[in-house]
Amino acid sequence: MTMSDAEMGGFLAKVIGPEPFEQAAVDGTPIREIVGQDPVEFVEAFVQNYSEGG
């Protein structure tokens, strides 16, 4: 089973919380500095590490 982009975003928000992304927005930090050059790879690795199956 794979998650949609919206589901992955919701999952990240629940696990990480919005604070890192909110602070990055305030600071003007590019999203690529947070998730790297491949956001999909970041999310897939994150989900694998923090899911029941990971």
Report the phi/psi class of residue 28: left, alpha or beta, with left for phi > 0 and alpha for psi in -120 to 50: left
What pLDDT is attached to residue 52? 64
Compute the distance between CA of residue 14 and CA of residue 47 in angstroms, rounded to an integer: 12
Angle, helices 5-16/39-50, rounded to nearest 10 degrees:
60
Q: Which amino acid is at 33?
A: E
- Tens digit of pLDDT for each residue in 17-33? 667 777 888 888 887 88
- Tens digit of pLDDT for each residue in 32-51? 887 888 888 888 887 787 76
Residue 12 pLDDT class (50, 70, 90 cuts): low
Residue 4 pLDDT class (50, 70, 90 cuts): confident
What pLDDT is attached to residue 11? 66
Domain ranges of the chain: 5-50
